[in-house]
C-alpha cells in the first residue's frame, strides 16, 4: 500500500483546490474520483462570488469560461410579483466544465496525483485514526491508498463520511427533506428575442427558471425538495420547454443532481479525517449554490492540514482550527439563511407572495441573500415591512425570525476556537435551542 500525506476522495472544486494548495506546500497528494477525466465539472454554468478567486489565489474567469449574468422576471407560486432580478456585480457565472478543467490542471501542475475511474469504497482505519481509503480501480481490483489525512469531497452522499463510526458532529446521511433534486438542460433559443427569462421561486419548495442571457441558448432548470409528493424536476423542465416560447433542441446538459440544503454539519473533522463541500453540507441554503463556499472551505482545510502535517499531529484537536475558521466566517452567514429557509417552508404560500410583491425583497437578494434579513441593512425597508401588519401573525413570526437569525449569527461567531468536548456539546445544545425558537405557522393554510 502506497501512503500519501493526503488522500482526497472527489475531484470537484473542493478536492482540486485542496490538492493544489497542499501539493504546492510540498505534500504528496492523491485525488481519487469515480468519473472519467474528460467529465471534469458539470455540463452547465454556476454562479460564484466574484471575490472568491482572489481569496483562494485563483485567476478570475475569462470568456468563454465566464458567462453572461442572469436576468429574470421573478414569480412566486401564487403569481407575478412584479419584480425583475439582475445578477449583481458581486457575482459571476462560470462554465463549470471549463472551470473544472482549469482547477484540475492547477492541482496536477502543482504535483497532485489523480486517479480517475476510481470509486472510493471505504475508509481505512489504523490505531483509531482514518488512515486512507480503499477504492475500486478501473481493472476491477480494490486498491488501498494510505494517508495521514483523508478528505471526503464526494458530494452529498459522503461515501467515506457514511462509514465513519462514532459521533463526531456530522451525520452519516443527508435525509430527503434536507436536500433538493435538480434537472438542468442547455437548449437552443429559437425565440428570436421574443422569449422571456423567468424565475419561479418557492414552487414545490424549490425553484424553476428559463434564462436566455447567453446568446442563442436557453438554460432551463428545475429543483424541488427531494420528497415523493413533489413532481420530478425533469418533468418540470419538460413542462417549461413545452410552455415557454422559443426553446429548441438540447445542446448540452440533461443531467440530474442532488444538493444538500440543510445547515452545514456541526463539525467537519474526525481523527485523520476532514469533510469539505457538499459532503459537509456547505451549499447556500436558499439557492443551492455551493462552489464559492466549497472553495473557501477547501482553502481553510488545506491551511489547517498543512500545519497538522508539519507538526505530525492529525487528531481532532489538531484539525479543529478548520472547524472554527469556517464556522466563524461563511457558516455564520449561511446559518441565518438556513433559519430563513425553515421559516419560509412552514409559512402559507400566500405569505411568500405578499412578502415578495410588497417590495421588501430586493431581487438581487436571490444572489446576495446574506443581507436579506439583516436588520441594519434593511432599516430603509421598515415602512414596507410595517405594511405586513395587515397579516399580524405573519408579521409577528417574521420579527421573531429576525431576532433568532441575529442570535444564531452571534452564536456561530463564538464557535469554540479550540477543541473541548464539553465546550462543543454546550455549543451544540445552544444551537438546538435557537433552532427550536424559529417560529412556524401552525398550518400552511393559515392566513
The beta-carbon contacts of 395-399 under 8 Å, at least 24 apart in sequence, are: 396/439, 397/343, 397/347, 397/439, 397/440, 397/441, 398/343, 398/355
Backbone torsion region of residue 348, taken as left when φ is above 0, otherwise alpha when ψ lies between -120 and 50, otherwise beta: beta
Grid cell listed for 180: 433538493
More confident residue, 354 or 185: 185
In angstroms, the CA 16 to CA 114 distance is 10
The separation between the first and the last C-alpha atoms of the chain, rounded to the nearest angstrom, is: 64
So what's the pLDDT on residue 391?
74
Tell me the torsion sign for CA atoms 115, 118, 121, 126: negative
Q: How many residues does the chain have?
A: 447
Full-model pTM: 0.93
More confident residue, 359 or 152: 152
So what's the pLDDT on residue 77?
76
In this structure, what are the phi and psi dihedrals at residue 372, rounded to the nearest 5 degrees?
-60, -45
Residue 384: which pLDDT band, with cuts at 50, 70 and 90? low
Contact 353, 447 (CB under 8 A): no
Contact 135, 33 (CB under 8 A): no
Count CA atoms within 13 Å of residue 116 on its CB side.
11
- Please compute the mean of the pLDDT values over residues 91-105 and round it to a whole number: 95
So what's the pLDDT on residue 310?
97
Q: Establish whether the linkage from the previous residue to 64 is cis, with ω within 30° of 0.
A: yes
In angstroms, the CA 417 to CA 420 distance is 9
Dihedral angle over CA of 213, 38, 122, 179, nearest 10: 10
Amino acid at each position: 500500500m502506497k501512503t500519501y500525506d493526503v488522500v482526497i476522495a472527489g475531484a470537484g472544486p473542493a478536492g482540486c483546490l485542496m490538492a493544489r494548495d497542499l501539493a504546492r506546500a510540498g505534500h504528496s497528494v492523491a485525488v481519487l474520483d469515480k468519473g472519467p477525466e474528460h467529465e471534469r465539472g458539470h455540463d452547465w454554468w454556476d454562479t460564484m462570488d466574484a471575490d472568491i478567486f482572489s481569496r483562494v489565489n485563483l485567476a478570475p474567469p475569462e470568456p468563454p469560461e465566464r458567462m453572461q449574468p442572469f436576468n429574470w422576471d421573478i414569480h412566486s407560486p401564487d403569481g407575478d410579483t412584479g419584480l425583475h432580478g439582475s445578477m449583481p456585480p458581486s457575482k459571476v457565472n462560470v462554465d463549470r466544465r471549463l472551470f473544472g478543467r482549469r482547477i484540475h490542471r492547477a492541482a496536477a501542475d502543482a504535483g497532485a496525483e489523480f486517479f480517475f475511474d476510481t470509486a472510493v469504497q471505504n475508509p481505512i482505519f489504523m490505531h483509531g485514526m482514518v488512515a486512507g481509503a480503499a477504492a475500486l480501480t478501473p481493472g476491477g481490483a480494490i486498491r488501498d491508498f494510505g494517508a495521514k489525512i483523508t478528505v471526503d469531497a464526494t458530494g452529498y452522499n459522503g461515501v467515506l463520511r457514511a462509514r465513519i463510526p462514532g459521533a463526531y458532529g456530522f451525520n452519516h446521511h443527508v435525509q430527503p427533506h434536507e436536500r433538493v433534486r435538480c434537472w438542468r438542460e442547455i437548449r437552443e433559443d429559437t425565440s428570436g428575442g421574443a422569449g422571456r427569462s423567468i424565475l419561479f421561486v418557492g414552487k414545490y419548495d424549490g425553484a424553476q427558471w428559463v434564462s436566455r442571457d447567453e446568446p442563442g441558448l436557453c438554460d432551463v432548470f428545475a429543483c424541488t425538495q427531494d420528497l415523493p409528493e413533489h413532481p420530478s424536476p425533469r418533468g418540470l423542465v419538460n413542462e417549461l420547454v413545452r410552455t415557454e416560447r422559443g426553446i429548441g433542441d438540447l445542446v448540452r446538459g440533461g443531467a440530474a443532481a442532488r444538493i444538500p440544503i440543510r445547515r452545514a454539519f456541526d463539525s467537519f473533522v474526525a481523527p485523520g479525517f476532514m469533510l469539505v463541500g457538499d459532503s459537509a453540507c456547505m451549499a447556500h441554503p436558499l439557492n443551492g449554490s455551493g462552489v464559492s463556499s466549497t472553495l473557501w472551505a477547501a482553502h481553510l482545510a488545506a491551511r489547517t492540514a498543512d500545519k497538522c502535517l508539519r507538526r505530525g499531529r492529525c487528531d481532532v484537536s489538531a484539525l479543529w482550527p478548520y472547524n472554527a475558521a469556517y464556522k466563524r466566517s461563511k457558516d455564520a452567514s449561511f446559518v441565518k439563511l438556513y433559519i430563513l429557509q425553515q421559516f419560509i417552508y412552514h409559512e402559507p404560500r400566500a405569505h411568500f407572495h405578499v412578502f415578495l410583491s410588497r417590495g421588501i425583497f430586493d431581487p438581487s437578494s436571490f444572489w446576495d441573500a446574506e443581507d436579506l434579513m439583516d436588520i441594519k441593512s434593511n432599516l430603509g425597508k421598515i415602512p414596507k415591512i410595517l405594511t405586513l401588519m395587515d397579516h399580524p401573525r405573519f408579521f409577528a413570526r417574521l420579527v421573531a425570525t429576525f431576532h433568532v437569525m441575529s442570535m444564531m449569527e452571534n452564536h456561530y461567531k463564538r464557535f469554540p476556537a479550540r477543541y473541548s468536548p464539553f465546550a462543543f456539546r454546550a455549543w451544540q445544545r445552544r444551537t438546538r435551542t435557537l433552532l427550536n425558537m424559529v417560529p412556524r405557522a401552525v398550518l400552511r393554510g393559515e392566513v
